[in-house]
Structure formats: structure tokens, C-alpha cells
């Protein structure tokens, strides 16, 4: 009945497909029905109760199998969509009603039962995408981070997976994003947790539709060349009585020691020293990649996986580190083209190094240091920026130590921090000018990009899971112009390989002038074998009609982006004609060529110059 190899791997903490054994599976055992299997080693008795037996615990009592802690039963005539739970009698005779940890679908909150679902109903037509998919190290990545319940709403209800297919995908295409990152779509009871306090690690949330509808959305994304990244939280889980807490009457998924089990979020920490818990979580990650063809997994709160409680003073959690290395190793082996992304606020080394080279095995790490330094700088009065000049140059001092991704995520738009644009210094007009400058800097800086929904329309209202984005802002010319600017940034980024193909190679980025603190002007360039792209940023209200900008090559430099162009609601102080470089006469100059340009107040400009082909 069971493959002993899966069970052995499960107990050893090396199982990546436990969902093929545990949970509720349609099968034929003399007749059609469903086999239920659950892990409850401390239980005295386990029954399946559900809509098919009037929730009567006496009708379907599970059998303790010959394998440690595993209970199973075949029940004929169970149908798709039937609801069920496990009634577990613990060692002391107390009875607990629990949702299935491996359920593929659940009732819609506030109801908490699991639901029968046949995953074989999911159909795919994305073979071309899957065969061409890569980890995108040398490709453009501009991620649109989405909370499904708050992107668009249909009256009082959020868009469904079907509505997202019809509306979100065209929006992503129109505005030049390459990937969608979904805030957790696992099942969760409390809307205010945004999915980060999970109850069902294998169940796509029923808030927005069923598994086939979600798979259809992913399939449609792939047909349009859009990747889908999913958030996952292997650190902690909800305390709700129907869930994993004291699952069989005793700590099973959580630490036995209360001080280790209690998390800072009012949830329970997974016992990542427990081999069966490791198999549960590794298999959960694998499940989304296997069943739903997800293209990337972003692991939340990695610093809490590295250190006990995320606190460096408590030391590293070696059991947790073993888990994350093991998970990333197996996922990389089984799904070699999937992106594994760490949201890590620590400076722990080798996060994006291969596990075989002593690293944690992630492909990318969010650069939260860059995010913090950058937003602090742009929030500072320009009069004092001379003293904070290093905040914008420091990121490149450590950038090549990891494979960094540049995030301006939901975390920067909540909890009283204000939204990105509202955090910037100055009055209403100046905030817009600086926001355009900030995004020009972000997209020219090495590293893949991530922006939370609403950043692209310059939203001033903090994220609220109960409301949709303030789309009415696009009725105002300034916000509409900002969306046009953001779209052009994305599309120019996609069109110039020098902005992405050597993100993680020293040769792809060079400073022109990193030390002009007196004027608060920064300049650098990106290059590949065909072109050089120069970025210059003015971070004060001063303007310059004749500014000498040193350039790395002789040639003609054409302005392809100016954050102050009139179509972006800027002052239109641009360089309308291509600028030819001139030889530098100074003996000690860093570069042999320069161009003379105009720079607007708070202006950011990109110039491009083709490289001359050398004769063979």
C-alpha cells in the first residue's frame, strides 16, 4: 500500500514528496474512494469525520499502520468537495478535531475543515515556458509584488484567480514587469496576517478560488512569458486549535520547550530539529513547484532561521540551518531552474553560496541594507546630504558578496512607515521628483528588482489588506505620468542587456564619480560588449546648464531617460540632442573623455553610447 522508501525518507527528514503519501487521495481499492493518511505518533485513536459521515467519529476509525506514527484508512464513495477533519484522541483521552496538515484545499474562513480535492484535474499547456525557464542570473527581472486581496476588488470582494487572469496579466505585460510575486497563497485564518501566519501549507487559499483556477492563472502567466514567485513561511505557524498546534495532544510540529516554541508574532515556531517537520516543510515547498509550476520561492524571515528568535546574541540555530541547507539542496536538485530567494536582514555569510560550497543554497538575497540606506538618504534634507553621501555608495562596497535583489516591498509601505513616495523629503512636488530619481537609481543599480503594488502609481496611502489600491489616483495627471515613467523604466531596462546580464560580475558596473558629496551628484556606468549606459543623479534642488560629466569611452552619448521630462510631469530640462564626447586635457583625470550636459534639480539621466566594433 505504501512505498517504504517515502516513509523512510520522511522519518529521516529527507522527503520532498510527502504529499504523495499523506493527505486525502482518490484511489481505487476494489471501488472508488479516498485514502486518508496522517502522521500522529502520540495519538491513542484517530477517526476521519466529515460531511460524508455526518461528522460521526465511530464510522471511519483509522488503522495504525506498521509504520511509526502513521494512521490510514480507505473510505469508499467520498466525493470531490466533501469536507473532513481528523478526530484525534490523545494519550489522556482528550479529543481534538484537526484539519489535515496535508490538505490540498480548505473551507473558506471562518470555517476550518479540509476539503477533498483531486489534483489530477489540473491541466497544463506551459511546456515551452518550463523548458526555457532559468534562474535568470543574466536576464532581466522586474518583480511586481502582489497581495491578491488588495490589488483590485469587485465591490466588497477581492478579485478571484479567474479575474486576476483577465486583469493582472495584461497589467503586468503593459507596464513591463517580468514576474509576479504573490504574498502567501497558502491557507490562513486571519486576513490581517496577509498569509504569513499559515494554517494549510499545501492548500491554496480558498478566498480567491480553487486549485484548478489558481493553476489556470499560473498557466496563463507562463503563456504570456510571466514568471510566478510564491512567498513561503517555514519559520512559524498559527496557534489556532484546528491547526498544527499540539496536533496529536502533544508538541509535534512546534518545539517542546515553550520559550523556543513561542514566536515574536504570537505564533508557534516550527521545531526544525525534528526530521518529520523538516520533511513536512521541504515537501510543502516542493509541492508548489511540482503541482503548480511555481517559478520561484521567496523564504520569509530567514534571519529567524539562522539565529534563535532572529537574535544574533542567542547564537545560530544549527538545526534550523541544517533544515534550510537541506531544503535548498533538494529543491535545486529537483527543480534546477527555480529561483530560491531569501528575505534575510542579517549579515550572515554565504547565503547565496551553494550548499556544496558551505553556503545556505539560495540563489538570491534581498538587499535590505541597500533599501534602508537608500530610503534614509532620500528622506534627508538635501542640505545635510553632504554628510550622508556614503549611504548611496556603500551598497557597491559589499554588493558582490552575495547575489542581491533590490526590494522596495510591502514591508516599506506598512506599519506607520508611510509609503515609499511619502517617506521622501520635501513637499508634494519634490516628493515626485525624488521618487522618479530614486527609481532611476534603483533600475540602473546592479541586482534584480522588486516593487510592491502601488509603488508604480506613487500611492500615498499605506497598504491595507481590506482595501484595493487607490486606482482613482490615475485620474490625476501627476500620478498617471508617474505610472508612464515607471513603465518606461521597465521597458528601457528590458531593452538594454547592459543593465542586467552582468549584474553579478564586477565588469558590469563602474563608478564615474562616487565622491562628489559637495554637489550631491552621483555618476556611474553599466556596460556590456555592445554599449555603455551612463547614469547621473542630482540629489539637490540646484540645476546645472554646463556640467562636465566624465565618460568611459569616446563617442556620442544619447539621453534615453530623463526623470524631469515633461511627459513625466517634470520641468523638461533635458539634453534633447546627442552629445559628442571631448578629450580631457587634465593629466590626472580618471577618464580620457567627457561630455557637457544639462542637469535639472533632482534630475536623474541615463545616456547610452554604442561601442565601436574593433577590427579583427
Count Cβ atoms within 10 A of the Cβ of residue 390 and give its class: 0-12 exposed, 13-18 middle, 19 or more buried. middle
**Single residue among 74, 102, 121 that ends a domain in this structure:** 121
Q: Which helix (H) or strand (E) holds 118?
A: none
> Does residue 527 fall inside a structural domain?
yes
For residue 64, what is the domain's CATH number?
A: 2.60.40.10
> Does residue 363 fall inside a structural domain?
no
Q: Where are the beta strands (DSSP E) in 386-489?
A: 404-408, 448-452
pTM beyond 0.75: the answer is yes
Give the CA count within 13 Å in the CB-facing half-sphere of 472: 4
> Does residue 200 fall inside a structural domain?
no
510 close to 525: Cβ distance less than 8 angstroms: yes
Of 282, 306, 283, 285, the closest CA to residue 294 belongs to 285
**Single residue among 91, 121, 151 that ends a domain in this structure:** 121
Query: What Cα–Cα distance (Å) separates residue 142 from each residue in 15, 173, 303, 479?
Result: 33, 11, 24, 20
Between CA 568 and CA 544 the distance in angstroms is 20
> Does residue 351 fall inside a structural domain?
no
Count of domains observed in the chain: 2
* pLDDT for 117: 97
Residue-wise DSSP of 492-512: HHHH-GGGTTTTTSGGGEEEE
**Single residue among 76, 106, 121 that ends a domain in this structure:** 121
* pLDDT for 615: 46
Residue-wise DSSP of 239-281: --TTSSTTTTSS-SSB-SSHHHHB-TTSSEEB-TT-HHHHHHH
533 close to 525: Cβ distance less than 8 angstroms: yes
For residue 542, what is the domain's CATH number?
A: 2.60.40.1180
> Does residue 343 fall inside a structural domain?
no
Catalytic residues: 300, 343
Q: Which domain holds residue 574?
A: 509-610
Between CA 430 and CA 20 the distance in angstroms is 56
432 close to 482: Cβ distance less than 8 angstroms: yes
> Does residue 342 fall inside a structural domain?
no
Write the secondary structure of 182-204 as one string of H (helix), E (strand) and C (coil): ECCCEECCCHHHCCCCCCEEEEE
Count Cβ atoms within 10 A of the Cβ of residue 387 and give its class: 0-12 exposed, 13-18 middle, 19 or more buried. exposed
> Does residue 358 fall inside a structural domain?
no
> Does residue 128 fall inside a structural domain?
no
Of 87, 218, 229, the closest CA to residue 161 belongs to 218
Average pLDDT for consecutive 10-residue bins of the chain (616 residues)?
Answer: 80 96 91 95 97 96 90 96 97 96 97 96 96 97 96 91 97 98 96 94 96 98 98 97 97 96 95 97 98 98 94 94 98 98 96 96 97 97 96 96 96 87 95 98 98 97 93 96 98 98 96 96 96 98 96 96 97 96 84 94 97 63
Amino acid at each position: 500500500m505504501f512505498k517504504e522508501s517515502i516513509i523512510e525518507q520522511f522519518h529521516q527528514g529527507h522527503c520532498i514528496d510527502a504529499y504523495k503519501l499523506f493527505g486525502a487521495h482518490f484511489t481505487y481499492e476494489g471501488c472508488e474512494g479516498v485514502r486518508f493518511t496522517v502522521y500522529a505518533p502520540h495519538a491513542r485513536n484517530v477517526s476521519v469525520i466529515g460531511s460524508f459521515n455526518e461528522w460521526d467519529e465511530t464510522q471511519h476509525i483509522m488503522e495504525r499502520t506498521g509504520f511509526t506514527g502513521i494512521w490510514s484508512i480507505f473510505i469508499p464513495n467520498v466525493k470531490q468537495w466533501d469536507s473532513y477533519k481528523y478526530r484525534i484522541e490523545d494519550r489522556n483521552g482528550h479529543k481534538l478535531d484537526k484539519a489535515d496538515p496535508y490538505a490540498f484545499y480548505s473551507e473558506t474562513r471562518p470555517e476550518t475543515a479540509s476539503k477533498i480535492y483531486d489534483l489530477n484535474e489540473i491541466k497544463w499547456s506551459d511546456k515551452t515556458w518550463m523548458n526555457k525557464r532559468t534562474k535568470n542570473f543574466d536576464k532581466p527581472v522586474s518583480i511586481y509584488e502582489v497581495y491578491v486581496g488588495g490589488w483590485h476588488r469587485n465591490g466588497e470582494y477581492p478579485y478571484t484567480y479567474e479575474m486576476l487572469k483577465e486583469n493582472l496579466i495584461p497589467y503586468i505585460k503593459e507596464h513591463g514587469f517580468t514576474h509576479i510575486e504573490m504574498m502567501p497563497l497558502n491557507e490562513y485564518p486571519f486576513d490581517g496576517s496577509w498569509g504569513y501566519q499559515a494554517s494549510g501549507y499545501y492548500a491554496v487559499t480558498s478566498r480567491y478560488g480553487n486549485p484548478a483556477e489558481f493553476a489556470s492563472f499560473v498557466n496563463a502567466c507562463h503563456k504570456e512569458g510571466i514568471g510566478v514567485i510564491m512567498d513561503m513561511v517555514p519559520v512559524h505557524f498559527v496557534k489556532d486549535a484546528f491547526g498544527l498546534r499540539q496536533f496529536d495532544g502533544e508538541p509535534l510540529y512546534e518545539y517542546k520547550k515553550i520559550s523556543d516554541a513561542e514566536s515574536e508574532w504570537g505564533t508557534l515556531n516550527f521545531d526544525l530539529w525534528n526530521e518529520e517537520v523538516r520533511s513536512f516543510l521541504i515537501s510543502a515547498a516542493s509541492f508548489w513547484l511540482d503541482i503548480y509550476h511555481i517559478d520561484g520561492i521567496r523564504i520569509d524571515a530567514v534571519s529567524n532561521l539562522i539565529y534563535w528568535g532572529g537574535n544574533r546574541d542567542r547564537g545560530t540555530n544549527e538545526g534550523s540551518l541544517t533544515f534550510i541547507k537541506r531544503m535548498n539542496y533538494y529543491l535545486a536538485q529537483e527543480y534546477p531552474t527555480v529561483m530560491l530567494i531569501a528575505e534575510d536582514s542579517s549579515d550572515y555569510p554565504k547565503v547565496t553560496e551553494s550548499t556544496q560550497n558551505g553556503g545556505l543554497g539560495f540563489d538570491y538575497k534581498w538587499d535590505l541594507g541597500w533599501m534602508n540606506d537608500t530610503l534614509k538618504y532620500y528622506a534627508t534634507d538635501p542640505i545635510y546630504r553632504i554628510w550622508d553621501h556614503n549611504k548611496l555608495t556603500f551598497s557597491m562596497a559589499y554588493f558582490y558578496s552575495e547575489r542581491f535583489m533590490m526590494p522596495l516591498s510591502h514591508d516599506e509601505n506598512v506599519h506607520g512607515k508611510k509609503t515609499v513616495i511619502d517617506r521622501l523629503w520635501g513637499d508634494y512636488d519634490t516628493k515626485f521628483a525624488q521618487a522618479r530619481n530614486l527609481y532611476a537609481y534603483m533600475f540602473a543599480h546592479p541586482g534584480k528588482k522588486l516593487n510592491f503594488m502601488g509603488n508604480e502609481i506613487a500611492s500615498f496611502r499605506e497598504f491595507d489588506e481590506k482595501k484595493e489600491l487607490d486606482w482613482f489616483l490615475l485620474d490625476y495627471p501627476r500620478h498617471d505620468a508617474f505610472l508612464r515613467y515607471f513603465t518606461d523604466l521597465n521597458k528601457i531596462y528590458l531593452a538594454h542587456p547592459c543593465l542586467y546580464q552582468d549584474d553579478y560580475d564586477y565588469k558590469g558596473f563602474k563608478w564615474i564619480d562616487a565622491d562628489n558629496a559637495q554637489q550631491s551628484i552621483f555618476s556611474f556606468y553599466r556596460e556590456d560588449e555592445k554599449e555603455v549606459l551612463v547614469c547621473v543623479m542630482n540629489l539637490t534642488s540646484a540645476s546645472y546648464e554646463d556640467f562636465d560629466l566624465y565618460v568611459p569611452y569616446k563617442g556620442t552619448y544619447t539621453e534615453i531617460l530623463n526623470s524631469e521630462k515633461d511627459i513625466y510631469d517634470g520641468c523638461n530640462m533635458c539634453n534633447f540632442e546627442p552629445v559628442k564626447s571631448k578629450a580631457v586635457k587634465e593629466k590626472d583625470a580618471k577618464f580620457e573623455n567627457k561630455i557637457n550636459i544639462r542637469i535639472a534639480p533632482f534630475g536623474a539621466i541615463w545616456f547610452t553610447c554604442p561601442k565601436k566594433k574593433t577590427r579583427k
